Structure 1
Amino acid sequence: MSDIPSLVEFLRQSDTQLRIFDMGRRVSKISAETFNKVEQAQVPYPAPFMHHAWIALLMWNPKLKDQNVVWFLKLPLDEQGYLVQAARDDFMNRLFQNISNMMSGDSDSAKKDALQDNPFSFKPEQEKMAIFHAHATLAIGQPASQYYEYSQQYFAGQMGFDQWQALGYQGIADLVIRHEKGRNSEIMAAAIAQLPPEPYEVLCTCLENIEPDHKLFAALSKRMLVSLQDDATTANHVAAQIRGISNAHNEEAKRDLLLAVLATPHAQEAEVLAAIATRCSISLRFPELLKPYLEALAAGKSGQVGFSRILADLMFMPDLRALILHVFRNPDRSEKLSEAIGQMFGGNLS
C-alpha cells in the first residue's frame, strides 16, 4: 500500500456524507469500510465485472441535500480480483491535481469537476442510471421521480395493464428500489401474472437490483415456468426473467429454474447464456448447474467467441475458476465442450 491516502479517507475529511454503490453486474450498496479494505488491497473487490470495479460514489451535505455530487469510477483489478495499486495511485494523483487547480472556486464545484479528463471515470448506461437515481434519492431522503406514482397506480391495476405505454423506466426503478415501502412489493407480485411482455421485461431488469421477498419470487417463478412452455416466448423474454430472479435468496429454487431454462432451446441463445453468466454467477457454484451450463455455452449460437468471452469473465472469479477447471477436466464432458476448451486454452488447462 502506498502513502497516498485512500479515497474513502480523503472524502471523509469534510462534512460530506458518503454512499458507495457497485455499478457492475447490478446496482448494489458497498459499505465504505469494505471499499476502504479494497483500496488497501486487504480484500479483493466483491463484485468484479469485466476485470474492473465499477463504482459510484454519492456525496452530499445533510444540510444541503439538493447539492449532491456523484462520481462514477472504473478501476482495474488484477488476476486475483484485487485493486491494481498503481492505477489507484494514478487516479488519486490526478484527483488531487484537479482539485488543487480548482480550489480557487468553491468546494462543491471542485468536487463536481474533480474527474474532468480523468481516464478512470465512466458514464453508466441509461438503465443503470435510473436504478442509481432511485437509490440516490432514497439514500438522501429526496422524493422519488414524477413517474413513481403512476407506476404504483399501473402495477396496482388502476390504469388497466394494457396502458403501459405511458410508464417511465425511472418510475419502475423507483417502485422496485422502494419495494419495502407501503404495499409496493405486494402490488408488483399481484400484477406479474397479468403484465404484458413489455412492462414485465422492464420490471424484471429492475428487480435484479433487489432481493425479492418470497411472494414476489414465487410470482416470478410461476410466470417463468409457464413462459418456458410457450413456443412464442422469445429469448429476450427469458433473459429478462433470468435477471428478475437472479438476486433471490433461495438459491436452490433459483438453480431449479435455471436448469429448466437449460432444458429448452433457449439455452443456445446468446442473451440467455449471458444473463446466466453475468447475473447468476453465485448459482453457477452448484456443480449440477455449472456442468450443463458450460455444455450449453459450448453449443451456443454465439460460438467460440461467446464461449471464450464469457469464460474469461467467469474465471476471473477465484471461486468459480477452480470449479470450472474441475468440469473442464471431467472425462465425461461432451466432444463439443472439449473442442471449445481446446480452442480457448490450446489444450493447456493449468
Structure 2
Amino acid sequence: MEKLLSSLLSHKDNRLRLFDMGRRVSKLSTDVFTKVEQNLVPYPMPFLHHAWIGMLMWNPKKKDENLIWFLKFPLDEQGFLVQAARDDIVNRLLQNALMPDIDKEDALKDNPFSFTPDAEKMAIFHAQAALILGQPASQYYEDVQQYLSAQRPYEYWENLGLQGIADFIVRLDQGTNEQSLCTNFGSLPTPLLLSISRLLEHSQPSYPLLSTLSQYLNQLLEHEECSPDMIAALVRAISNTTLTQTRDEMIINVLSSAYATHTEVLLAVATRNLTSLYQPEILHAFLERLAICDAGQQAFTRILSDLMFLPEMRALILKAFRHDGLSDALRHAIGAMLGQKRSASSH
C-alpha cells in the first residue's frame, strides 16, 4: 500500500497542522493535502510551479516539543504533485525514522525539497503556531502593543521586533489591538507602516480595519511622491479580506493611478489579489498596465506565465487576449510573449 506523507506524520500520539506558504501563510486542510498526495486533485494554491508547505507537528501532552518542517513540492503542468518528489521525501523520512541517532528536527532538513521562508512569513508562521499550541506571544509583543496604543514615544518604533509585530497581527481580535491600529495607523512612521501592511496580508481585515486601510491608500494615490513600495504593501494588506467588493474597488483605483506601471504594485495585485482578476474589467486594466510596466516585456511574460499556471486564470487571460479594445502596447506584449513560448517549445 502506498505510504502517504500526511499519514506518516499524524498518528495517535501526534498532531499535524499544515500551512500553505506560497503567496501568503494560510491553513491547508490535511484532507485536501491527502487528496493532492493521491493525485486526485491539483494543488489548490500553487506558486512558481511549486506547493510551498509548512508543517507543524506536536504531541498534545508535550506541546513544547513541537517539530517544524518547510517543504516545497514541484508540480507538473496541470498543477498535480510530481510523485517522484513526494516518494523521495517519504523514503527519506522512513529511512531516517529507522536511525535513532538522527534528530527528528533534522530528518527532512538536508534534502532538495526543504526551504527557508522569508523573515515575514517565518514570523507569521511562528505567531500562528504559538496560538495553535496555546503558547504565549514572544517577548516583543508587549512593546508593539504599547507602541500602537500610543503609550511609547514616536521614535521608539526602531526598537520594535518583527516577531512582535507578527504576534500583534495574529492577535488583532484580542483586547483593543484592532482599535489601536485603526486609530493610529495614519500617524505611524513609514518603515513601521510598511512592515505592518505586508504582514496584514496574512490576516483577514475586518470592516473597520479595511476602511482605515482603504482611506489611507486613497490618500496616497492622490499624491505622486509616495513610494510605490508603500502602495504595494497596502495592496497586499487589503488582499485577504472577505469584503471583496470594497477590495476590488480599491484595486480599480490603484490600477487607474500613476503607480499602476510600477512592477512591485502589479506584482502585489497579481500574487495577492488573484480573485480580483476574475473580474473582466479589472483583468483588462491589469493587463494594459502590465504591458507598459517599468520592468518591460520580461515582467509581462513572467507574471502572466505564473498566473496562467492556474487553470481558471489561464482561461480568463486567454479570453482577455481576444478582447476587441486592446491597446497597441498590449497587443505587442502578447505577441512577444506568445512568440517566446513558441520559440522555446520548438527547441
TM-score range for the pair, normalised by the shorter chain length: over 0.9
User: What is the 5 A alignment of 1:249-268?
Assistant: 249-268=242-261
1:325 corresponds to which of 318, 331, 345: 318
Q: In structure 2, what is the Cα distance between the partners aligned to 1:342 and 1:183?
A: 53
Q: Identify the residue that residue 80 of structure 1 maps to in structure 2.
A: 78
Q: Classify 1:76/1:347 alpha carbon distance in 2 versus 1 (closer, same or farther; 3 Å).
A: closer
2:181 corresponds to which of 170, 182, 188: 188
Q: In structure 2, what is the Cα distance between the partners aligned to 1:15 and 1:55?
A: 22
Alignment pair present for 1:238 and 2:236: no
Q: In structure 2, what is the Cα distance between the partners aligned to 1:303 and 1:14?
A: 54
1:14 to partner: Cα distance: 4.8
Give me the CA root mean square deviation: 1.5
CA contact (8 A) 2:284 2:320 kept: yes
Report the TM-score, using the length of structure 1 for normalisation.
Answer: 0.94
Q: Identify the residue that residue 60 of structure 1 maps to in structure 2.
A: 58
User: What is the 5 A alignment of 1:89-104?
Assistant: 89-100=87-98, 102=99, 104=100
Deviations 1:210-239 (A, max 9, x none): 111111111000100001112221101101
1:94 to partner: Cα distance: 2.2
Segments of structure 1 that go 5 or more residues without pairing to the other structure are: none
Q: Identify the residue that residue 345 of structure 2 maps to in structure 1.
A: none
Q: Classify 1:161/1:222 alpha carbon distance in 2 versus 1 (closer, same or farther; 3 Å).
A: farther
Q: Identify the residue that residue 18 of structure 1 maps to in structure 2.
A: 16
CA contact (8 A) 1:155 1:161 kept: no
Alignment pair present for 1:118 and 2:111: yes
* Count of matched residue positions in the alignment of Structure 1 and Structure 2: 342
Q: Which aligned runs of 4 or more in structure 1 are off by greater than 4 angstroms?
A: none
Q: In structure 2, what is the Cα distance between the partners aligned to 1:134 and 1:302?
A: 35
Q: In structure 1, what is the Cα distance between the partners aligned to 2:154 and 2:240?
A: 26
CA contact (8 A) 1:192 1:200 kept: yes
User: What is the 5 A alignment of 1:19-34?
Assistant: 19-34=17-32
Q: Identify the residue that residue 306 of structure 1 maps to in structure 2.
A: 299
Q: In structure 1, what is the Cα distance between the partners aligned to 2:112 and 2:12?
A: 25
1:274 to partner: Cα distance: 0.8
The DSSP-based 3-state class of the residue aligned with 2:157 is coil
Segments of structure 2 that go 5 or more residues without pairing to the other structure are: 343-347
Deviations 1:172-224 (A, max 9, x none): 10000111222222221222122221111111111000111111111000100
Alignment pair present for 1:345 and 2:338: yes
The DSSP-based 3-state class of the residue aligned with 1:338 is helix
Report the TM-score, using the length of structure 2 for normalisation.
Answer: 0.95
Deviations 1:305-332 (A, max 9, x none): 1011100110011111100000111132
Q: Identify the residue that residue 222 of structure 1 maps to in structure 2.
A: 215
